[in-house]
Structure 1
Amino acid sequence: MTATKTITAESILADYADDIAFVAEEQPATTVSGFVDQLRTAIRNFGLARFDTEELEDAATYLNDADGSTDENERTVLLNRAAEYLKYVDDMADEYRLMV
């Protein structure tokens, strides 16, 4: 039986803040709203480099909605969806690093 990782806002920041900050050319975000702002900047930068950013745009929407949610079950679902759309950020950031 495999253990499933619980997705939280904190785990998303821990997993993706450094890569998104690099692409956004900023210091890593420490809040979900700050991360969403950086993610939107990173989306623009990835777009200029001709990356497909549709999944990242969806992730930003889910994270923004999760940050504003007061319902814990809804928040969990939204964070899980965001994490699913962010799962290739590390590969994208590595490729971006090679380009700049």
Structure 2
Amino acid sequence: MTPTQLTDDTLLRRYATDIAHVAQQPPATDLATLAAQLDTAAPRYEAAGITGHEDLETASLHLDEALRATGTDRDTFLRRADALLRPLVSDMTQEYRLAAGD
């Protein structure tokens, strides 16, 4: 069975809204913006005492690599970023909202 292709749009749908909330910016519409917003959000999570910010920084690096890669290399970097973000972003953002009183 072939794994489903992971696309830029998939990552943006999954994470852009939550990360944009913490970055206090409009949701990203491309991977470069999402990576930049991850870099902005990571220290904000850290300042709020929310663990996992290091994985967001690493995911940002994978997205940067994906932007320069092609073919299976690009897919590998997208999957690595997704693997780091998927178990964290929603819960971290919910915790951040509670801490901020949103």
Identity level (%): 37
Q: Name the count of aligned residue pairs.
A: 98
Aligned counterpart, 1:41: 40
Query: In structure 2, how many angstroms separate the alpha carbons of the residues matched to 1:50 and 1:99?
Result: 9
Aligned counterpart, 1:58: 58
- Tell me by how many angstroms 1:6 deviates: 2.8
Q: Taking structure 2 as the reference length, what is the TM-score of the superposition?
A: 0.89
Aligned counterpart, 1:99: 99
Q: Could you say what secondary structure the match of 1:6 adopts?
A: coil
- Contact conserved, 2:32 with 2:64, CA < 8 A, in 1? yes
Q: 1:26-69 deviations in whole A, cap 9, x for unaligned?
A: 11010111111111100011111122211111100101100111
Aligned counterpart, 2:31: 32
Query: In structure 2, how many angstroms separate the alpha carbons of the residues matched to 1:5 and 1:44?
Result: 32
Structure 2 alignment gaps of length 5 or more: none
Q: Could you say what secondary structure the match of 1:34 adopts?
A: helix
Runs of 4+ in 1 over 3 A off after TM superposition: none
- Tell me by how many angstroms 1:5 deviates: 4.1
Query: In structure 1, how many angstroms separate the alpha carbons of the residues matched to 2:97 and 2:10?
Result: 23
Structure 1 alignment gaps of length 5 or more: none
- Contact conserved, 2:50 with 2:95, CA < 8 A, in 1? no
What root-mean-square deviation, in Å, do the aligned CA atoms of Structure 1 and Structure 2 show? 1.5
Q: Taking structure 1 as the reference length, what is the TM-score of the superposition?
A: 0.91
Q: Which residue type is aligned with residue 62 of structure 1?
A: H
Query: In structure 2, how many angstroms separate the alpha carbons of the residues matched to 1:6 and 1:94?
Result: 28
